[in-house]
Amino acid sequence: MPEDTTLLDRDGVRLTVDDTVANITLTNPAKRNAQSPALWRALAESGRLLPGQVRVVVLRGEGVSFSAGLDRQAFTPEGFDGEPSFLDLARGSEAELDAAVSAYQEAFTWWRRTDLVTVAAVQGHAIGAGFQLALACDLRVCADDAQFAMRETSLGLVPDLTGTKPLVELVGYARALEICVTGRFVHATEAERIGLATVVVPAAELDAAVKDLVAALLAAPRDAVNETKALLRGALSRTEAEQFAAERAAQGRRLRDLAGLGE
């Protein structure tokens, strides 16, 4: 595939692919990459469009902020052009509301696929939906000006874009509760200390740090990386005995493959 092939560029999302690396960029810096249902659909489609050779996906936001969260226009009576407003959704049936939110969540779930390693490059604000989008990725490389905040509870809502589980897994229940209920900012240094940020670097070095990490992620054989991610993602939900068995099964597949005995 030619270098930097563009597969999608609309609704505030651009997907480019360079061999085994895909770059997904939020492209509305004038609104600090505020999110909308149209953007979520484009993110979900980006996951479906990834060619099979892609191993690493990097998510970025143009401008000074990664993403300032949901565009507040969603809560106005008129909503977005051609979209039901959130107020309209609230007036509908429970099934309709559940289906709508489930569709929105698709933008946040595919990043956990075990055939990919996903990296969020975070600078500036990552608020609400922006925080949850960063949490959707496996790893977060943060500039030293990064600020995370979960503001939903402060607005009378809850985080519903799949961010609660990874947040608890990363920082623990008590810290996750405190972050969500207070809505306070978690700055880059704290984010690194509590395990939210994989690494923090000066803002001018963010791109270089992401490039170095991507190269390291691509160094190991793909099948071994995929098996390892699957083992680690399932570790918290399995019993010890189940995890040990999963390790044995995965290693058996790896050994058979290395011996040329794979199916």
- Mean pLDDT for each consecutive 10-residue tract of the chain (263 residues)? 83 98 98 97 98 98 97 86 86 94 97 98 98 98 98 95 98 98 98 98 98 98 98 96 98 96 73
Tokens 């790896």, residue located? 254
Q: Give the side-chain half-sphere CA count within 13 A for 246.
A: 17
**Length, in residues, of the chain:** 263
Contact 170, 137 (CB under 8 A): no
Single pTM value for the model: 0.95
Nearest to 131 by CA among 173, 176, 89: 176
Q: Give the side-chain half-sphere CA count within 13 A for 10.
A: 9
DSSP letter string, 3-60:
TTEEEEEETTEEEEEETTEEEEEE--GGGTT-B-HHHHHHHHHHHHH--TT--EEEEE
Nearest to 179 by CA among 131, 220, 239, 232: 131
Q: Give the side-chain half-sphere CA count within 13 A for 78.
A: 3
Q: Which residues pair with 120 in a beta bridge?
A: 59, 140
End-to-end Cα distance, the chain: 28
pLDDT of residue 249: 98
pLDDT of residue 1: 43
Identity of the residue numbered 224: A
How many whole angstroms separate alpha carbon 122 and alpha carbon 44? 20
